[in-house]
């Protein structure tokens, strides 16, 4: 993870911040999976103190936020704030065969938040721990070496991160009839070579990875929280961040020093970076 390169400065990380006015609901008792993963650090935002301090605050427990928070917790005290609930115990999330149901579910309990784009397109976005990885089609592939170079990332660290993700979440898919026909059709249309099953980004046709296992069970980014340090990470569910607090950063850009979040009964909570943000030391 690039987190290894973040140095010792405390930072506010906005994994994703969407303006949202969602109706939050109560978390029920932790499901079997949550207990199996021993997620004792996952709590309801109602139980959050009015004021608290952390080395890192990650806003949004989605596809990026969960692995980021887990990695940062190796060396620092981390708070992860997610407006949705747990992904476990809901077959619309966990079963491949209910993929479309989660997207169709418009209730305030739904892990998918229905919205209409500025162009009028009806769409859905994640509102659940694990984020889009709880709703998406589960296709997995690595980026091309050229993409990684252009982004200026450390290719060795990127590869190590891919392996970390792949060990936990990525499976080789079965290729049933429709997919076989599409595969053959692409090759017949000249989209060659046939690269077979590979996670590499290659020209031609290939069979990529999937986050659904052979039993059709979805594995999500929330599972990465198993890798977190259980005493250095705190996760609040049904915690909707309403404000990021900034102070002037001299000649440079403003510096974030905290956030305000609201729980499911409208209670406001303030969280600040230890040391005031920017130049603070971690640990």
Ligand X SMILES: *[C@@H]1O[C@H](CO)[C@@H](O)[C@H](O)[C@H]1NC(C)=O
Ligand Y SMILES: Cc1cc2nc3c(=O)[nH]c(=O)nc-3n(C[C@H](O)[C@H](O)[C@H](O)COP(=O)(O)OP(=O)(O)OC[C@H]3O[C@@H](n4cnc5c(N)ncnc54)[C@H](O)[C@@H]3O)c2cc1C
Give 21 or 28: the residue with its C-beta nearer to ligand Y.
21
Choosing from 101, 213, 245, 270, the residue that interacts with ligand X (CB under 6 A) is 101
Going by C-alpha positions, the residue among 155, 6, 144, 160 that lies closest to residue 68 is 6
Per CB under 6 A, 115 contacts ligand Y: no
In the complex, least distance from residue 90 CB atom to ligand X, rounded to whole angstroms: 5
Residue tagged 């887990």 (tokens): 70
Cα–Cα distance measured from residue 246 to residue 215, given in angstroms and rounded to the nearest whole number: 47
Per CB under 6 A, 220 contacts ligand Y: no
Beta-carbon count within 10 A of 250 CB: 9
Per CB under 6 A, 104 contacts ligand X: yes
Stretch that binds ligand X, among 7-15, 34-42, 155-163, 173-181 (CB under 6 A): 155-163
CB 233 within 8 A of CB 78: yes
Q: Which long-range contacts (CB under 8 A, 24 or more apart) does 99-102 make?
A: 99/137, 102/134, 102/135
Going by C-alpha positions, the residue among 142, 92, 138, 89 that lies closest to residue 112 is 92
Instruction: Count how many residues are written for the chain.
Output: 283
Per CB under 6 A, 114 contacts ligand Y: no
**Contact partner at residue 83 from ligand X, ligand Y, none, CB < 5 to 8 Å by partner kind:** ligand Y
- Binding to ligand X (CB under 6 A): which residues in 164-203? 200
Stretch that binds ligand Y, among 3-11, 69-77, 169-177, 234-242 (CB under 6 A): 234-242
Beta-bridged to residue 30, according to DSSP, are: none
Question: For the chain, how big is the Rg over CA atoms in Å?
Answer: 20
Query: What residues line the site for ligand Y (CB under 6 A)?
Result: 15-18, 20, 59-65, 81-84, 103, 124-128, 131-133, 135-139, 239-241
Query: What residues line the site for ligand X (CB under 6 A)?
Result: 90, 92, 101, 104-105, 142, 145, 155-156, 159, 200
């Amino acid at each position: 993870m690039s987190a290894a390169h973040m140095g010792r400065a405390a930072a506010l990380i906005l994994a994703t911040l969407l303006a949202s006015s969602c109706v939050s609901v109560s978390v029920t008792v932790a499901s079997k999976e949550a207990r199996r993963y021993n997620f004792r650090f996952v709590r309801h935002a109602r139980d959050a103190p009015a004021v608290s301090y952390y080395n890192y605050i990650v806003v949004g427990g989605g596809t990026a936020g969960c692995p980021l928070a887990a990695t940062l917790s190796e060396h620092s005290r981390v708070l992860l704030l997610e407006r949705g609930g747990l992904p476990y115990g809901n077959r619309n999330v966990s079963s491949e065969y209910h993929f479309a149901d989660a997207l169709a579910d418009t209730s305030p309990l739904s892990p998918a938040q229905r919205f209409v784009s500025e162009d009028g397109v009806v769409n859905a976005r994640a509102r659940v721990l694990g984020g889009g990885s709880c709703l998406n089609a589960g296709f997995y592939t690595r980026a091309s070496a050229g993409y990684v170079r252009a982004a200026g990332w450390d290719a060795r660290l990127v590869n190590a991160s891919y392996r970390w993700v792949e060990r936990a979440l990525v499976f080789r898919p079965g290729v049933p009839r429709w997919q076989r026909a599409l595969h053959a059709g692409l090759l017949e249309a000249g989209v060659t070579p046939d690269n077979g099953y590979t996670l590499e980004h290659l020209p031609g046709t290939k069979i990529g990875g999937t986050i659904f296992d052979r039993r059709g069970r979805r594995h999500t980014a929330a599972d990465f929280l198993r890798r977190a340090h259980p005493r250095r990470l705190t996760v609040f569910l049904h915690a909707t961040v309403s404000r990021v607090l900034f102070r002037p950063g001299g000649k440079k850009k403003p510096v974030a020093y905290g956030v305000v979040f609201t729980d499911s009964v409208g209670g406001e909570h303030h969280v600040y970076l230890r040391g005031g943000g920017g130049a603070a030391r971690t640990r």
